[in-house]
A and B are shown apart, each in its own frame.
Chain A
Amino acid sequence: MAIDCFVLGAGQEIGKSCVVVTINGKRIMFDCGMHMGCDDHNRYPDFSLLSKSGDFDNVISCIIVTHFHMDHVGALPYFTEVCGYNGPIYMSYPTKALSPLMLEDYRRVMVDRRGEEELFTTTHITNCMKKVIAIDLKQTIQVDEDLQIRAYYAGHVLGAVMVYAKVGDAAIVYTGDYNMTTDRHLGAAKIDRLQLDLLISESTYATTIRGSKYPREREFLQAVHKCVAGGGKALIPSFALGRAQELCMLLDDYWERMNIKVPIYFSSGLTIQANMYYKMLISWTSQNVKEKHNTHNPFDFKNVKDFDRSLIHAPGPCVLFATPGMLCAGFSLEVFKHWAPSPLNLVALPGYSVAGTVGHKLMAGKPTTVDLYNGTKVDVRCKIHQVAFSPHTDAKGIMDLTKFLSPKNVVLVHGEKPSMMILKDKITSELDIPCFVPANGETVSVASTTFVKANASDMFLKSCSNPNLKFSNSTQLRVTDQRTSDGVLVIEKSKKAKIVYQDEVSELLHEKNHVVSLAYCCPVKAKGESDNDVDLIKQLSAKILKTVSGAQIHESEDCLQVGSFKGSLCLKEKCMHRPEISSCSEAVFLCCNWSVADLELGWEIINVMKLNLDNTCKVKGDLL
């Protein structure tokens, strides 16, 4: 059995996340995103690779979307409404609630402002979202008889989840985007220790290792403060949900503390609406926010106002959160056009900017002019600040998660190739886990766990519930528990395997037990007159105890017993088990028998007794 991981998007790149994993015949699509930096057909994953005929319902068991970012959900309406996928789609409650807002916002930006042809319509979004089944954290869902999925908290944005999928004995986790540290408004990713064949992890910051985020928060606040203090305007292009709330909480706090009166604006009604969602989806936020929300709603910002288009050219300082992020289009880009030429102003870019966007160009170097999409050039004289805290995990977080889950294999997606390669080497060498970095269109195949299933008898399970310790004393005392070795696995062709206790095997085979034992009537001592037999047994057992480690000896008047070894004084003239006449003619005999299980033990005891005989004979000989 194998697991095939086919990367349709976000292979060695960031954007259009889409990974199709086949586990024991079940095919799951994780995320269905679009590339924000592409304008051509490369914007969407190449779905035709999945099915030439376009019959996606039969090749895909289900789609799971991890969070509402466009590079994870952007292609979903296209895939369901245009390509015609009709199967089940799963996402968390917040993702289901917020995705349509994001999709609609993006559609409007693309069509209304950039004048592109419509790839999907509002109706497409509505119809697509109707097919979505909402899931809760840790809710265990049986998609069909064999496929089980479960979501874990990922912390990246509101409603972001990591997904566990299991078919038969094989299991994988797809992380989506995640954050291993606690945010101001979101918690850190949280997952159980699972047995996994494959972990598919994002690797946006595959080589970055971050220290505490507080200095970087301070840096951001000071940059913004300096700008507004100098009478400048600060533009923070961000998506309506996620970073906006995080930064807003930060700024609102700071404003309060520093008693700053400069207005903070939100560009669109969307953000207001988003804040309302945040209130309802409070259970998905951080512990801190959850605890506070009873008394005070942390998303009711004191200093935040709605922005009006006419305010672009209004005099005086201000802070503006404008959508979309990355300056890829729309209102934020429009404001940028007006504000960028002034050296008083500031553009603070939170999070990652995808290659091809204006945001990316600003980050890449210190450009003096930037080409906008429609050919116009803008002089950039304003300050650029990159907000250095991100809702993505750093390299340490990826390593920590990988180590914690200890999967049999790792696949890295959603990152930049050079740093992914470094992380791959690190995972391979430090954690000794095979790691793969497939490009788009490539497939990684790994072996999957299977268990041999057998029916176990009660007797076996009962014997296994008691420890069966064995002591051995070769170089040092070793204690081993061998309770399972009393069990026997019996396989009959075309029948289910059975596990039975060793005594039950013959019954299972319709045979009769045959006991094989060893016997020997051993001379132990030259015959003397005064000696008492009871003393003899005592002497012997003391000697046995000395030589045979850990022996538990039961003794009675005329016999002794160690495990299955039984020896009793033999008074017969001629015993069947006395094959040879001993060298010492007149001797006391101990008639012994023991089972094959104690083969070695038996001989050890016999040797002790032989030694005893030799000694007594010697003594007698000396006396004579």
Chain B
Amino acid sequence: MGLLGLPFLTQSPGFCAKIYMTEATAKIGQLMMEDLVSMHKEFRCFYGPGDSSYPGWIKDLDSQKVPALLKKVVFGESGDDLGSWMRLYSLDDVESCMKKVQVVKFAEEVCYNGTLIIKALSSGLDIGACNWLINGPNASLSYVSNSILVSLHARNFDINGLKGLDVMVYSDFSCLQSAEVTENGCISPNPDNNYLSTISIDNKDEDLAASLLNTEDSLEEMEKLAFVCSCAAESADAGGSTLITITRVGIVLQLLELMSDYIESSSLKVPIFVISSVAEELLAYTNTIPEWLCDQRQEELISGEPWFDHLKFIKDLKFIKDEKIHLFPAIHSPNLITSWQEPCIVFAPHCSLRLGPSVQLLQRWRGDPKSLLVLEDGISSGLALLPFRPVAMKVLQCSFLSGIRLQKLPTLISILQPKIVLVPDAVSQRINLSEMKINSILNFSENKTLHVPRIADNSSVEITTDLASKLSWRKLRQRENFGIARLKGELQMEDGKHRLVTGLEQEESSGKARPLRYWGTVAQEPLLGALLKMGIKGSIEHSTSENGSENSMIHIANPSRGLIETSEMCTAIVAEDENVAYQILQGIDEVLDGI
């Protein structure tokens, strides 16, 4: 669901970035985008303008004829209200968008530009959903989005992979939605349980993990699913049909599984219909990705069972004669009418109740008090149902867990022990994290750039042993513990690491490499001695310069005239003859450390 807006971004002309997503996300995401496009196309067939342009009223709004006041109402104060509305993308847009995507496999490490190592770790939210781990030469960073710690269907939240990083960007906004008031007498299955609010941070890691990964949440989720099932069964018992508009893949799969089991074990004879242009492909795909499923479902693979039970009820498998789940691409599919029977249970998009097969079905059943509508959380049911009034059918709005519970955040942070945590403003207003024993917690907010202080002092460089053995080492006077060497080779960036490797062509410097930098002070007497050995005679003359610093000069007379001018910080060699100057330099090398 996090990528339905992606084509809007990728179709803008300047867009050239690489997009990473997990293979499963890409596949399911593309199907969902295609479904959206097909529903929209159908909608346009009935209500939209014939050509592919904007509807007339949008075009007219832009023109001069429209009174300024009306414009202001429509576009809002800043002009970005309705004015920034865009036409829905087409199938071509979806395709070209997906071409820009680089898919990664489960826990695959990919390298961006040799610099960053990017890895997707399961977040537990849904099949294919992940948190990102980015390792660079200077720091490691994790991006934690909506996560479910113990999942009923998808691979669990990968805690171990996120431990001990430099920066953690916490981007789970689910806690902001949970406080929304639910309407229409629906259940609000989100009681605030405070069992985790008082955590002593000093607990052992294992205890913390245990408290974090307890199954209470998942049991609660299980209860919710069972409740939806029993509501649907009740309706069916009374002769009413159920329309489920939830589109979260994981929830749909679990509901399908539970319901078919429920029906199988009871005396009810209710068919289940899934009406969506992508239902068949989606359901088939979810049974081919064991790596994204939770352990228990993976185990079922060993015994040769489909990972999702519902599959055995689908006509596709020949050896199951008893069809319980029917898949149809659209409400006008030819075979739908022949197998249609009421009461039934229908899974159909779209959750907004404005698009797709759900619109027609709702028109059909809205007056029937025995029928049931199951809505997703997060949309206002009052607004959604407005065009269908008066609504006599029962409405069940359920909120399923869609992220980390806020109370668990401190525990999570103390297990992961990042050096810096970035928390959204809106989240940190709701929870006091200041008592955490974490180096620092920073807040970030929309449209503001936050500069995170640098963590590591130094970057690491790896030198091949081959190259290291070729370096010419210098011993330092009076510092036996030190060895220094000028570097050679080529510095490369590989797998997010700086590496110094043997270069293609090393210019062999003529003779012995000369030091280019010196430090310390020149002692005159030893220098004179060193020069004498080479047959150069000189005499010392001390002087004090105008600013009071000590200067000394060594006059050289033999073999040709020259002068060595030294002070504490610098030495100048004056000579007409190149060879003499060179010899003097060698003398200096002997009394001065350099590299």
Q: Do A and B bind each other?
A: yes
Q: Which residues of A contact B (CB under 8 A)?
A: 93, 96-97, 100, 129, 134, 136-141, 150, 169, 273, 276-277, 280-283, 293-294, 449-458, 461, 464, 470, 472, 478, 480-493, 498-499, 502-503, 505-506, 509, 511-521, 576-577, 579-580, 593, 595-597, 599, 603, 606
B573 & A518 in contact (Cβ 8 Å cutoff): yes
Q: Which of B301, B479, B568, B570 contacts A517 (CB 8 A)?
A: B570
Q: Restricting to B399-443, which residues have a CB under 8 Å from any CB of A?
A: none
Task: Give the residue name and chain of the B residue nearest to A599 (CB).
Answer: B514
Determine if B505 is an interface residue (Cβ-Cβ < 8 Å).
Answer: yes
A513-B517, A579-B576 known; A461+B459 contact, CB < 8 A: yes
B570 & A514 in contact (Cβ 8 Å cutoff): yes
Q: Provide the main secondary structure of the chain B interface.
A: mixed
A139-B291, A509-B476 known; A489+B484 contact, CB < 8 A: yes
Chain A residues with Cβ below 8 Å from B302 are 96-97, 100, 129
Determine if B203 is an interface residue (Cβ-Cβ < 8 Å).
Answer: no
Chain B residues with Cβ below 8 Å from A452 are 462-465, 468
B458 & A455 in contact (Cβ 8 Å cutoff): yes
Q: Which of A456, A498, A505, A512 contacts B568 (CB 8 A)?
A: A512
A453-B462, A514-B520, A596-B585 known; A280+B484 contact, CB < 8 A: no
Whole-angstrom CA separation of A499 from B298 in the bound complex:
49
A280 & B301 in contact (Cβ 8 Å cutoff): yes
A134-B290, A490-B484, A599-B585 known; A509+B507 contact, CB < 8 A: no
Chain B residues with Cβ below 8 Å from A293 are 284
Determine if B390 is an interface residue (Cβ-Cβ < 8 Å).
Answer: no
Whole-angstrom CA separation of A100 from B303 in the bound complex:
9
Chain A residues with Cβ below 8 Å from B500 are 484
A450 & B465 in contact (Cβ 8 Å cutoff): yes
Whole-angstrom CA separation of A519 from B570 in the bound complex:
12
Chain B residues with Cβ below 8 Å from A596 are 514-516, 585
Give, as a whole number of angstroms, the nearest-CB distance from A16 to chain B.
Answer: 25
Whole-angstrom CA separation of A271 from B175 in the bound complex:
50
Whole-angstrom CA separation of A480 from B507 in the bound complex:
7
Q: Which of A129, A455, A511, A599 contacts B459 (CB 8 A)?
A: A455
A499-B461, A505-B484, A505-B595 known; A515+B288 contact, CB < 8 A: no
Whole-angstrom CA separation of A516 from B566 in the bound complex:
9
Chain A residues with Cβ below 8 Å from B56 are none
Chain A residues with Cβ below 8 Å from B485 are 488-489
Chain A residues with Cβ below 8 Å from B289 are 283
Whole-angstrom CA separation of A36 from B83 in the bound complex:
74
A136 & B291 in contact (Cβ 8 Å cutoff): yes
Determine if B563 is an interface residue (Cβ-Cβ < 8 Å).
Answer: yes
Whole-angstrom CA separation of A51 from B363 in the bound complex:
74
Chain A residues with Cβ below 8 Å from B585 are 516, 518, 596, 599
Chain B residues with Cβ below 8 Å from A492 are 481-482
Chain B residues with Cβ below 8 Å from A449 are 464-465
Whole-angstrom CA separation of A502 from B594 in the bound complex:
10
B517 & A453 in contact (Cβ 8 Å cutoff): no
Whole-angstrom CA separation of A457 from B487 in the bound complex:
14
Can you give 8 contacting A-B residue pairs, CB < 8 Å?
A276-B304, A449-B464, A451-B463, A455-B459, A505-B595, A518-B573, A520-B574, A593-B572
Q: Which residues of B contact A (CB under 8 A)?
A: 104-109, 119, 281, 284, 287-291, 298, 301-302, 304, 306-307, 457-465, 468, 471, 476, 479, 481-491, 498-500, 503, 505-507, 514-522, 560-563, 565, 568-576, 578, 581-582, 585, 588, 592-595
Q: Which of B482, B488, B574 contacts A490 (CB 8 A)?
A: B482
A518 & B108 in contact (Cβ 8 Å cutoff): no
A451 & B462 in contact (Cβ 8 Å cutoff): yes
Chain A residues with Cβ below 8 Å from B490 are 481, 484
B291 & A93 in contact (Cβ 8 Å cutoff): yes
B488 & A516 in contact (Cβ 8 Å cutoff): no
Chain A residues with Cβ below 8 Å from B119 are 140
Chain A residues with Cβ below 8 Å from B482 are 490-493, 509
Whole-angstrom CA separation of A282 from B291 in the bound complex:
13
Give, as a whole number of angstroms, the nearest-CB distance from A524 to chain B.
Answer: 13
Chain A residues with Cβ below 8 Å from B573 are 516-519
Give, as a whole number of angstroms, the nearest-CB distance from A389 to chain B.
Answer: 27
Whole-angstrom CA separation of A461 from B291 in the bound complex:
40
A134-B298, A484-B491, A513-B517 known; A139+B105 contact, CB < 8 A: yes
B505 & A453 in contact (Cβ 8 Å cutoff): no
Chain B residues with Cβ below 8 Å from A281 are 288
A280-B287, A294-B281, A492-B482 known; A511+B461 contact, CB < 8 A: no
B516 & A502 in contact (Cβ 8 Å cutoff): yes
B505 & A480 in contact (Cβ 8 Å cutoff): yes
Whole-angstrom CA separation of A140 from B574 in the bound complex:
64
Q: Which of B287, B487, B498 contacts A461 (CB 8 A)?
A: B498
Chain B residues with Cβ below 8 Å from A139 are 105-108, 291
Give, as a whole number of angstroms, the nearest-CB distance from B502 to chain A.
Answer: 11
Give, as a whole number of angstroms, the nearest-CB distance from A488 to chain B.
Answer: 5
Task: Give the residue name and chain of the B residue nearest to A482 (CB).
Answer: B507
Whole-angstrom CA separation of A481 from B489 in the bound complex:
10
Whole-angstrom CA separation of A572 from B302 in the bound complex:
96
Give, as a whole number of angstroms, the nearest-CB distance from B202 to chain A.
Answer: 25
Whole-angstrom CA separation of A139 from B516 in the bound complex:
49
Whole-angstrom CA separation of A276 from B288 in the bound complex:
12
B106 & A515 in contact (Cβ 8 Å cutoff): no
A487 & B106 in contact (Cβ 8 Å cutoff): no
Whole-angstrom CA separation of A150 from B117 in the bound complex:
15
B576 & A484 in contact (Cβ 8 Å cutoff): no
A511 & B561 in contact (Cβ 8 Å cutoff): no
B570 & A516 in contact (Cβ 8 Å cutoff): yes
B487 & A514 in contact (Cβ 8 Å cutoff): no
Give, as a whole number of angstroms, the nearest-CB distance from A352 to chain B.
Answer: 28
- Contacts A453-B462, A517-B570 supplied; 6 other A-B pairs, CB < 8 Å: A138-B104, A140-B107, A140-B108, A489-B485, A579-B561, A599-B514
B105 & A138 in contact (Cβ 8 Å cutoff): yes
Whole-angstrom CA separation of A599 from B512 in the bound complex:
14
Task: Give the residue name and chain of the B residue nearest to A499 (CB).
Answer: B461
Task: Give the residue name and chain of the B residue nearest to A454 (CB).
Answer: B461
A488 & B595 in contact (Cβ 8 Å cutoff): yes
Chain B residues with Cβ below 8 Å from A454 are 460-463
Whole-angstrom CA separation of A481 from B491 in the bound complex:
11
A140 & B460 in contact (Cβ 8 Å cutoff): no
Whole-angstrom CA separation of A480 from B503 in the bound complex:
10
Chain B residues with Cβ below 8 Å from A481 are 490
Give, as a whole number of angstroms, the nearest-CB distance from A453 to chain B.
Answer: 6
Give, as a whole number of angstroms, the nearest-CB distance from A457 to chain B.
Answer: 7
B105 & A136 in contact (Cβ 8 Å cutoff): yes
Whole-angstrom CA separation of A150 from B462 in the bound complex:
23
Whole-angstrom CA separation of A502 from B514 in the bound complex:
13
B463 & A514 in contact (Cβ 8 Å cutoff): no
Whole-angstrom CA separation of A484 from B505 in the bound complex:
13
Whole-angstrom CA separation of A520 from B575 in the bound complex:
6
Chain A residues with Cβ below 8 Å from B109 are 138, 140, 150
A456 & B304 in contact (Cβ 8 Å cutoff): no
Whole-angstrom CA separation of A458 from B461 in the bound complex:
11
B288 & A282 in contact (Cβ 8 Å cutoff): yes
Whole-angstrom CA separation of A519 from B572 in the bound complex:
6
Task: Give the residue name and chain of the A residue nearest to B317 (CB).
Answer: A276
Chain B residues with Cβ below 8 Å from A456 are 458-461, 498
Give, as a whole number of angstroms, the nearest-CB distance from B65 to chain A.
Answer: 50
